[in-house]
């Protein structure tokens, strides 16, 4: 059974093309292979966790799916569309917040910019209301008028999550959303994502090193290593493998890191 | 003093300089905010010096194919021809900088630093070839240092028209460039064509530098992009507020600088830049005082 069959057989298939279809995807940067022959299909409504050690190619896989990295081989479709068209239905929370820290950006402007597709000179009251509503969902109403450079790691995650949610996406793509968040924040965000996925039937794709998040939320898991998919399937199947448990969940799982002493924290 | 201001406003050439100068300085300031946020402040210098090269190339073409004319390149009614003819060439150089920067994955100002000397050298070479061909000599002083007081009504129309168009683009489509400057990946996810935004920024800078030649010349024009935007970035305010501050800063600097230049009888381009410099440091002092006040 290949990755395709496996995902389809267990998925909650709904009408229309699958949320993600990746076929034979390879990607190299300056001659260095980052992704090699990745193939999988994800149905709508699934909660996919992508796991694996650092340097496995997880972030580049997400970027290639979203059309932010150009494949050297293979194809990607999002909701049956090219990534640059399909990503309009996606809310994205990047891993490293690479935004320019000196840029004069308030949270409300970051969210309004996503709605308008351009940086606002002034935020309209309609955009402000939508931003406030999105922040309310993530418990961050108080952040509305704060400057990004003044926010803590957890507050930034909430702000970017609100930005991802504001345009009513059909899919959320999150790259290590728990990184830099304290344990209370991890619990809150996990519960929030789980709730959103179930209530709104959102498709969620998330890179995580958190075993508890995978156990709690995931309906599908991909384990990556060396730029390729080493294993895929239901959490129960994959989490049974001690090697996967050992290599994929030693990084940012706060709870696990504290108890095992192997983590980065 | 009132009599003196009245005397200035009675002079047509001063009115043209004050109007055209302020408009072009505002357009520069708006693009300058984008350029400073994008971390490529050097682009102003690079594209200003490439204007020298572009004007040199036009001067050589003029000597080979046209009825060669001798003039102050960039100065006087006839010399302005070299600026307007060099403008599209400079825009192409801007696109080339953006292309090398993107495809060569060069960091920061590296691509600009590559084109800066190449184009300046091309200008020197073309002017030498023109001289060798026996064409009448071309005085480059007006192009190097500006000649805003020599602006003709036709120059004013072109300069003001160009400045207004660029300012309107900066306020509308330029907001996508600003978003890409904030975070290219997030901007792309919101529908911004990031590569196009980068080319547009370089092209607009090349054009605004050409329109500013009369005001400040090759050597001083980068100050119009860098100093007002730098002063605006000293304050914590929204992007829109920074555009407004930089625009006001630029317009005031040009008017004060021009009036002082006329009063003291010194070159206007240098006086405008020194006025901007003085206002910049005054802004720094005020900013520091406000910060000290707030901390108590």
Q: Does residue B74 register a pLDDT over 70?
A: no
Q: What is the mean pLDDT of residues B251-278?
A: 92
A31 touches chain B (CB under 8 A): no
Mean pLDDT lowest among A82-86, A250-254, B22-26, B110-114: A250-254
Q: Are A110 and A92 in contact (CB under 8 A)?
A: no
Give chain B's end-to-end CA distance (angstroms, integer): 41
pTM: 0.85
| Confidence at residue B258, expressed as pLDDT on a 0 to 100 scale | 92
Interface test with A, best of B239, B241, B242, B243 (most A CBs within 10 A): B239
Residue B264, Cα to own-chain centre: how many angstroms?
25
Mean pLDDT lowest among A75-79, A89-93, A149-153, A254-258: A254-258
Q: Does residue B70 register a pLDDT over 70?
A: no
What's the pLDDT band for A258 if we cut at 50, 70, 90? Answer: very low
Query: Token digits for B73?
Result: 């390149």
What's the pLDDT band for A4 if we cut at 50, 70, 90? Answer: very low
What's the pLDDT band for A135 if we cut at 50, 70, 90? Answer: very high
Chain B residues lying within 8 Å of A99, measured CB to CB: 182-183, 186
Predicted confidence (pLDDT) per residue in B186-201, tens digit: 999 999 999 999 999 9
Can you give the length of chain B in residues? 296
Could you tell me which chain A residue has the CA closest to the CA of B170? Answer: A121
Chain B residues lying within 8 Å of A120, measured CB to CB: 175, 239-240
3-class state of residue A231 by DSSP: strand
Question: How far is it, in rounded angstroms, from Cα A44 to Cα A201?
Answer: 8
Domain ranges of chain B: 12-295
Q: What is the mean pLDDT of residues A241-252?
A: 65
Mean pLDDT lowest among A109-123, A223-237, A245-259, B211-225: A245-259
Contact between B179 and A122 using a beta-carbon 8 Å cutoff: no
Treating both helix axes as pointing N-terminal to C-terminal, what angle do B194-211 and B43-65 enclose, rounded to 10 degrees? 60
Predicted confidence (pLDDT) per residue in A58-97, tens digit: 999 999 999 998 899 999 999 999 999 999 999 999 886 7
Predicted confidence (pLDDT) per residue in A156-195, tens digit: 888 999 999 999 999 999 998 877 777 777 788 888 888 8
| Confidence at residue B25, expressed as pLDDT on a 0 to 100 scale | 95
What's the pLDDT band for B88 if we cut at 50, 70, 90? Answer: very high
Q: Are A65 and A22 in contact (CB under 8 A)?
A: yes
> Tokens 């991802």 identify what position?
A164
Share of chain B above pLDDT 90, in %: 54
Question: How far is it, in rounded angstroms, from Cα A41 to Cα A27?
Answer: 18
3-class state of residue A214 by DSSP: helix
Average pLDDT, chain B: 88
Q: Does residue B40 register a pLDDT over 50?
A: yes
Q: Does residue A10 register a pLDDT over 50?
A: no
Does the structural domain B12-295 have CATH classification 3.30.870.10?
A: no
Nearest to B183 among A98, A104, A106 (CB): A98
Q: Which range has highest mean pLDDT (A207-221, B57-71, B232-246)?
A: B232-246
3-class state of residue A106 by DSSP: strand
* A176 Ramachandran zone, left/alpha/beta (phi>0; psi -120 to 50): left
Residue ranges of alpha helices (H) inside chain B are: 2-9, 12-38, 43-65, 76-103, 110-132, 141-145, 153-171, 174-182, 184-189, 194-211, 213-220, 222-233, 239-264, 268-295
């Amino acid at each position: 059974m290949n990755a395709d069959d496996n995902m389809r057989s267990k998925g909650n298939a709904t009408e229309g093309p699958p949320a993600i279809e990746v076929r034979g995807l390879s990607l190299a940067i300056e001659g260095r292979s980052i992704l090699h022959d990745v193939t999988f299909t994800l149905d709508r409504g699934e909660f996919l966790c992508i796991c694996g050690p650092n340097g496995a190619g997880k972030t580049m896989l997400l970027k290639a799916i979203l059309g932010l990295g150009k494949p050297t081989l293979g194809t990607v479709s999002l909701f049956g569309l090219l990534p640059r068209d399909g990503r309009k239905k996606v809310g994205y929370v990047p891993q490293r917040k690479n935004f320019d820290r000196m840029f004069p950006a308030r949270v409300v402007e970051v969210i309004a910019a996503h709605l308008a597709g351009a940086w606002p000179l002034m935020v309209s009251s309609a955009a402000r209301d939508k931003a406030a509503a999105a922040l309310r969902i993530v418990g961050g109403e108080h952040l509305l008028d704060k400057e990004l450079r003044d926010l803590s790691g957890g507050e930034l995650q909430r702000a970017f999550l609100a930005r991802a949610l504001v345009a009513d996406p059909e899919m959320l793509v999150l790259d290590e959303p728990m990184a830099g968040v304290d344990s209370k924040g991890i619990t809150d965000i996990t519960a929030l994502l789980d709730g959103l996925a179930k209530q709104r039937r959102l498709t969620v794709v998330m890179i995580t090193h958190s075993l508890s998040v995978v156990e709690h939320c995931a309906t599908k898991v991909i384990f990556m290593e060396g730029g390729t998919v080493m294993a895929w399937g239901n959490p129960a199947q994959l989490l049974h493998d001690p090697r996967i448990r050992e290599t994929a969940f030693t990084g940012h799982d706060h709870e696990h890191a504290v108890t095992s002493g192997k983590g980065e924290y | 003093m009132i009599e003196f201001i009245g005397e200035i406003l009675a002079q047509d050439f001063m009115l043209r300089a004050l109007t055209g100068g302020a408009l072009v300085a505002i357009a520069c300031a708006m693009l300058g905010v984008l350029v400073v946020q994008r971390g490529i402040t050097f682009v102003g210098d690079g594209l200003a010096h490439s204007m020298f090269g572009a004007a040199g190339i036009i001067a050589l073409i003029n000597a080979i194919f046209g009825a060669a004319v001798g003039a102050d390149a960039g100065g006087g009614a006839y010399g302005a021809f070299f600026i307007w003819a060099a403008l599209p060439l400079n825009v192409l150089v801007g696109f080339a900088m953006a292309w090398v920067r993107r495809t060569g994955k060069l960091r920061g100002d590296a691509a600009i630093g590559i084109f800066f000397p190449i184009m300046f050298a091309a200008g020197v070479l073309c002017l030498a070839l023109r001289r060798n061909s026996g064409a009448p000599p071309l005085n480059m002083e007006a192009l190097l240092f500006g000649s805003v007081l020599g602006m003709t009504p036709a120059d004013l129309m072109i300069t003001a028209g160009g400045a207004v168009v660029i300012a309107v683009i900066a306020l509308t489509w330029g907001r996508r460039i600003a978003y890409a400057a904030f975070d290219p990946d997030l901007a792309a996810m919101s529908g911004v064509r990031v590569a196009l935004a980068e080319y547009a920024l370089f092209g607009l800078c090349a054009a605004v530098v050409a329109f500013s030649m009369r005001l400040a010349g090759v050597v001083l024009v980068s100050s119009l992009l860098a100093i007002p935007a730098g002063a605006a970035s000293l304050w914590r305010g929204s992007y829109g507020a920074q555009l407004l501050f930089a625009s006001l800063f630029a317009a005031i600097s040009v008017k004060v600088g021009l009036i002082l230049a006329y009063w003291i009888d010194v070159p206007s381009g240098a006086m405008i830049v020194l006025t901007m410099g003085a206002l910049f440091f005054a802004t720094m002092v005020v900013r520091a005082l406000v910060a000290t006040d707030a901390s108590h």
